[in-house]
C-alpha cells in the first residue's frame, strides 16, 4: 500500500466515531506508529501497549500455558483491550461511545532463525462480535522491516473495513473468522443478564476446555448420588481464568446439548448461588482443587471477606459435593484438606474408592499440537 493511500485510510479511521485500545506483540508496532503519526489519533486511540516480553504477555492475557503467536492469544489480547477500553471510556463519562479492542501477535524475521512459519494473527473484539485474521509470510522473502510493513498495512486495512470504511487491496491473503453474538449472549457478557438457559438445582461448574470423560462421568455419578439431574455450568467470566470471547464461547458451547449446560456471568460462588438458586439452595459438584480455592484468602480482600462469603453460602443453603483429583502430592480428596469451618460444614466428599478418573483439561491441552 502506498504511503498516501495509507495516510488517507488512517485519516478515515480517525474520523470514525469508534475508539479503541490496541495491544501488539512480536510485531505490529509499525501499525501503532501509523495510527499515532497521523493527526487525529486521539480520536481513535485510547491506549496502546506492547507486552513484548513473554512474561508481560502472559500477565496480560491471564496465563494458562499460552503460545505467544496464536489465534487464541490474539483473541485474548483483543478481549483484554476491549475491557480496558470500556473502563477508560466509563472513567471519562463516555459510556455511549462505540468501542473495540484490537490486537496483533506476530512471529517475524529476527536475529535467529525460527523453526516455525513467519505469520501474524490479528483479532478485534467489540460488544457484539469477535473477528480474527491470519496470514503467513514466505520465510526469507522479505526483511524484518518489510514484514513489519506488511503486518501494519494489513492491520490498517482490516481495521478500516471492520469500521465500515473504505480499505485498500491487501498484499497478502488472509483467513478470516467472525462470530456475531446473539442479543442474549451480549446481555450475558455485559452483565445485564446473569444466566442463559433453564437452571435446575445442581451444577458442575467448569471451563470445559475441553469437556472430557472425567466431567461426564463425574456428572453422572453426582446425579446418581444426589438423586437429581446435574447441569454443566459454563461461566463467561471467571476469577482466575482468561476472559472468553464470542468465538471461544461458541466453540465450547458446541460440546454440549442445549439442555445440559447453562451459561452464566457469575465469577464467584456467592454470585452463582444467588443467581442459580434464587435463595432456594443449590448443589455444586466440584473437584478438590476448586474447593481449596474457595477457601483460600487470596481470592478475597482479606480473611474477614472470605469468612463473610462462606457464611453467605451457608445461609443460602448451598452444598458442595467434592470429588478427588490427582495432584503433585498424589490423589487428594476432601478428607486430606483443612478447610474453614463454614466451608467444611457445607461440603461432602466422595472417596477415591468410590470414584477416580485421572484426566484433566490442562493435560489434554498440553498434549495437543500447538495451534498456529
Quick one: pLDDT at residue 372?
52
Band of pLDDT at residue 360, cut at 50, 70 and 90: confident
Quick one: pLDDT at residue 3?
77
pLDDT at 126 over 60: yes
Band of pLDDT at residue 329, cut at 50, 70 and 90: confident
pLDDT at 352 over 60: yes
Band of pLDDT at residue 367, cut at 50, 70 and 90: low
Quick one: pLDDT at residue 113?
80
Q: Are 46 and 88 in contact (CB under 8 A)?
A: yes
Q: Cell 526483511 identifies what position? A: 143
Residues 6+ apart with CB under 8 A from 346: 313, 314, 318, 319, 320
Nearest-angstrom CA–CA distance, 290 and 129: 31
Does domain 185-367 bear CATH number 3.30.70.980?
no
pLDDT in tens, 249-301: 999 999 999 889 999 999 999 999 999 998 789 999 999 999 999 999 999 99
Predicted TM-score of the model (pTM): 0.92
Closest CA to 49 of 71, 25, 82: 25
* Backbone dihedral region for residue 140 (phi beyond 0: left; psi -120 to 50: alpha; all else: beta): left
pLDDT at 150 over 60: yes
pLDDT in tens, 169-220: 888 999 999 999 999 999 999 999 999 999 999 999 999 999 999 999 999 9
Residues 6+ apart with CB under 8 A from 212: 359, 360, 361, 364
Mean pLDDT in residue range 315-332: 95
pLDDT in tens, 35-80: 999 999 999 999 999 999 999 999 999 877 789 999 999 999 999 9
According to CATH, the topology of domain 3-180 is Maf protein (3.90.950)
Quick one: pLDDT at residue 188?
95
Comparison of pLDDT for 350 and 362, the residue scoring more: 350
* pLDDT above 70 coverage of the chain, percent: 97
Comparison of pLDDT for 165 and 66, the residue scoring more: 165
Start and end residues for every CATH 3.90.950.20 domain found in the chain: 3-180
pLDDT at 369 over 60: no
pLDDT at 347 over 90: yes
Quick one: pLDDT at residue 364?
66
Band of pLDDT at residue 1, cut at 50, 70 and 90: confident
Quick one: pLDDT at residue 29?
95
CA atoms within 13 A on the CB side of 256: 25
- In the beta sheet, which residues pair with residue 135? 120
Band of pLDDT at residue 363, cut at 50, 70 and 90: low
* Per-residue 3-state assignment (H helix, E strand, C coil) for 204-260: EEECCCCCCHHHHHHHHHHHHHHCCCCEEEEECCCCCCCCCCHHHHHHHHCCCCHHH
Quick one: pLDDT at residue 63?
72
Start and end residues for every CATH 3.40.50.620 domain found in the chain: 185-367
CA 3 to chain centroid, in Å, comes to 36
133 C-beta neighbours (distance < 10 Å), count:
25
Mean pLDDT in residue range 71-97: 96
Amino acid at each position: 500500500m502506498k504511503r498516501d493511500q495509507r495516510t488517507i485510510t488512517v485519516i478515515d479511521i480517525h474520523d470514525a466515531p469508534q475508539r479503541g485500545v490496541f495491544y501488539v506483540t512480536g510485531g505490529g508496532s509499525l501499525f501503532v506508529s501509523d495510527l499515532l503519526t497521523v493527526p487525529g489519533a486521539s480520536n481513535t486511540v485510547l491506549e496502546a501497549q506492547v507486552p513484548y516480553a513473554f512474561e508481560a504477555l502472559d500477565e496480560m492475557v491471564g496465563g494458562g500455558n499460552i503460545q505467544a503467536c496464536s489465534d487464541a492469544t490474539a483473541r485474548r489480547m483483543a478481549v483484554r483491550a476491549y475491557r480496558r477500553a470500556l473502563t477508560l471510556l466509563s472513567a471519562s463519562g463516555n459510556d455511549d461511545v462505540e468501542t473495540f479492542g484490537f490486537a496483533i501477535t506476530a512471529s517475524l524475521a529476527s536475529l535467529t532463525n525460527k523453526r516455525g512459519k513467519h505469520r501474524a494473527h490479528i483479532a478485534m473484539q467489540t460488544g457484539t462480535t469477535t473477528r480474527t485474521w491470519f496470514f503467513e509470510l514466505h520465510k526469507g522473502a522479505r526483511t524484518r522491516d518489510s514484514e513489519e510493513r506488511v503486518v501494519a498495512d494489513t492491520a490498517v486495512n482490516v481495521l478500516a473495513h471492520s469500521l465500515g470504511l473504505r480499505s485498500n487491496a491487501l498484499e497478502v491473503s488472509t483467513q478470516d473468522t467472525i462470530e456475531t453474538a446473539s442479543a442474549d449472549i451480549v446481555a450475558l457478557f455485559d452483565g445485564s443478564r446473569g444466566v442463559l438457559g433453564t437452571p435446575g438445582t445442581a451444577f458442575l461448574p467448569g471451563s470445559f476446555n475441553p469437556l472430557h470423560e472425567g466431567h461426564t462421568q463425574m456428572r453422572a455419578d453426582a446425579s446418581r448420588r444426589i438423586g437429581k439431574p446435574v447441569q454443566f455450568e459454563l461461566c463467561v467470566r471467571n476469577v482466575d481464568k482468561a476472559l472468553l470471547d464470542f468465538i471461544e464461547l461458541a466453540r465450547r458451547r458446541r460440546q454440549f446439548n442445549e439442555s445440559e449446560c447453562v451459561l452464566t456471568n457469575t465469577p464467584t460462588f456467592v454470585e452463582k448461588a444467588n443467581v442459580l438458586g434464587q435463595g432456594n439452595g443449590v448443589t455444586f459438584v466440584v473437584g478438590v482443587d476448586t474447593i481449596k480455592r474457595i477457601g483460600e484468602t487470596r481470592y478475597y480482600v482479606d480473611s474477614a471477606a472470605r469468612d463473610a462469603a462462606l457464611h453467605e453460602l451457608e445461609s443460602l443453603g448451598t452444598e458442595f459435593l467434592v470429588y478427588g483429583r490427582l495432584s503433585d502430592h498424589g490423589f487428594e480428596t476432601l478428607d486430606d484438606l483443612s478447610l474453614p469451618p463454614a466451608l467444611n460444614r457445607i461440603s461432602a466428599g466422595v472417596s477415591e474408592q468410590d470414584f477416580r478418573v485421572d484426566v484433566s483439561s490442562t493435560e489434554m491441552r498440553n498434549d495437543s499440537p500447538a495451534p498456529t
